[in-house]
Amino acid sequence: MIFPHFRCLALFAGVLLAVDGQAGIVLNTTRVIYPAKDKEVSFGVHNTGSAEILLQSWLEPNVTNPEPGSLPFVVTPALARVQGDGKQLLRIIYAGTDMPRDRESVLWLNVQEIPQAVAENSLQVAIRQRIKVFFRPESLPGEAAQAPQGLRWRIEPAGLQVDNPGVYHVSMVRLEVRQDGDMLLSLDGQMIAPGQSIQLPLKHPPTLAPIKLSFISINDFGGQEPYRAALKSGQTVQAEVAEPR
């Protein structure tokens, strides 16, 4: 006799085996930088599994409700068969119109694995990876690498105010605000767009003691760079690259 919870465990184990047997896709980059002067940019996708997959790729604007076909870009091939342990080169091509020229823009690149038909009672999972594409017009002032230091931070009664007066996006994987060892704010990810101002609520209003801000920025190559700043209520400051400890 098989008890109900053992039956569930057996079914769950079967699902895990089915998923493990499917292919997994790995992109050779964590972000794509598209200089406007280039006719196209390319990146690679590796099918790390043993089975053939159908690879589907498309772009979306960085908005809540994108309109289909509203971007002057194309990903080619949009559909491709990739053998087990095989690789596929994908290209993004820009039509040359309808993108802002005075600031960097961000798009979302979706790369999805569509598994082939499997046996009955097996689980099929369509695995999708999503990364950012930064479209960078020519002759923008400054450098993207300096953008994190250009952010302006300020403690307001309602929370932490951050302004990005520059023309590049700043992506962070970690943002923290501490005071006397107390964590006032902790975020695992945040992106600040060109010209954007946002206010982040604190756990509670800070006291008059020094406030420490720290964040980790992601550069063009996917590397992590730490920054720190000392804040005081009512004062606007800019962070500096943190010295290695």
CATH number of 144-239: 2.60.40.10
Domain topology for 24-136: Immunoglobulin-like (2.60.40)
Question: How does pLDDT run across 164-217, given as a tens digit for each residue?
Answer: 999 999 999 999 999 998 999 999 999 999 999 999 999 999 988 899 999 999
pLDDT at 208: 87
Any alpha helices (H) in 46-197, and if so which ranges?
A: 147-150
Whether 1 has a pLDDT exceeding 90, the answer reads no
> CA 91 to CA 95: how far, in whole Å?
13
SS (H, E, C) 8-26: HHHHHHHHHHHHHCCCCEE
Q: Do domains 24-136 and 144-239 have the same CATH topology?
A: yes
How is the beta sheet containing 31-35 ordered, strand by strand?
31-35, 127-136, 105-115, 53-61, 79-82
Question: How does pLDDT run across 35-78, given as a tens digit for each residue?
Answer: 999 999 999 999 999 989 999 999 999 875 555 567 999 999 99
Could you give the percent of the chain with pLDDT greater than 90? 71
pLDDT at 45: 97
Whether 117 has a pLDDT exceeding 60, the answer reads yes
More confident residue, 243 or 55: 55
> CA 14 to CA 8: how far, in whole Å?
10
- Site of tokens 């994108």: 66
pLDDT at 141: 96
User: Which residues contact residue 191 at a Cβ distance below 8 angstroms, ignoring those fewer than 6 apart?
Assistant: 106, 169, 170, 171, 172
Question: Domain-by-domain residue ranges, the chain?
Answer: 24-136, 144-239
